[in-house]
Amino acid sequence: MPAELRLIATPEDFPADEQWEEMIRELQQLLSSDPEISVKPPPSEAVPLDAKGEPITIGVFILILSAPAVVRAVKTLNTWIKGLGNRHAKIEVSSGDKMFVVDAKGYSTKDLEKIVKAAKEQE
């Protein structure tokens, strides 16, 4: 049974909404390029109440993936975070009742191990 991760990306210092939307679409494409990762829109209750726009373009989506694909997904997130340059985003990844928040440096190896463990608990 595949694991489900909820991902919420929130811009912290983006000068324009269009720039953020472009970056979120890039993240979605990077994640979707892995055949073992399915990117889906979240249920309406998972979208923040003050969010404006479609869930994907505001940075809220669900990843359906196998536990081994979690490692690749987190590495993809880290690559995307590095690509932000001096712009920053807050990234929250939730698995079940566990949430992992990342800073501008990306997820550490220890964070990755925790996320994989949480995803395996869902299988």
Domains of the chain in sequence order: 3-122 (3.30.70)
What is the spatial order of strands in the sheet that 3-11 belongs to?
A: 37-40, 60-65, 3-11, 89-95, 98-102
Q: What is the average pLDDT across 95-101?
A: 86
Residue 9 has pLDDT above 60, yes or no: yes
Q: Which residue has the higher pLDDT, 67 or 26?
A: 26
Confidence of residue 57 (pLDDT cuts 50, 70, 90): low
Residue 45's pLDDT is 62
Separation CA 58–CA 63 (nearest Å): 15
Separation CA 71–CA 69 (nearest Å): 5
Least confident interval from 15-19, 67-71, 100-104: 15-19
Residue 37 has pLDDT above 70, yes or no: yes
